[in-house]
Amino acid sequence: MPTSADVPLAEPARMALTCAEEESSRLLSSTIDVPHLLLGLLRTHDSKAANLLSEFGLKVDERSAVSMVSGWLR
C-alpha cells in the first residue's frame, strides 16, 4: 500500500491529514483514526469538506473535539 508520500494530494487534503496527525499526537494516540481525520477536516477551514460539515452544524472546538475522540477510542 502506498504511503501518503507516494500519493499526490491536493493542498486541502494534505492539510487535513497533517491536522489529523497533530490531533492524534495531542491526544496521545498511537494511531490516526476516523475521529482524528474528521477533526483534521474540520480544522481545514478553506476546504470544501470543512464548509460542507459546517453547513450541517459540525464545528470544531476544544471540548467537543476531546469528547468526540475520547468517546470513539474507548
Model confidence pLDDT, tens digit, residues 10-30 = 888 899 999 999 988 888 888
Is the confidence at residue 4, as pLDDT, over 90? no
28-69 confidence digits (pLDDT tens): 888 898 888 888 888 887 788 888 887 887 777 755 666 666
Grid coordinates given for 11 = 493542498
Locus of grid cell 483534521: 40
- Residue 68 is predicted with a pLDDT of 65
- How far is Cα 29 from Cα 21, in angstroms, rounded to an integer? 9
The residue ranges of every structural domain in the chain are 11-73
For helices 34-43 and 48-55, the axis angle rounded to 10 degrees is: 100
Is the confidence at residue 2, as pLDDT, over 80? no
- The answer to whether 11 touches 45, Cβ cutoff 8 Å, is no
- The answer to whether 60 touches 22, Cβ cutoff 8 Å, is no
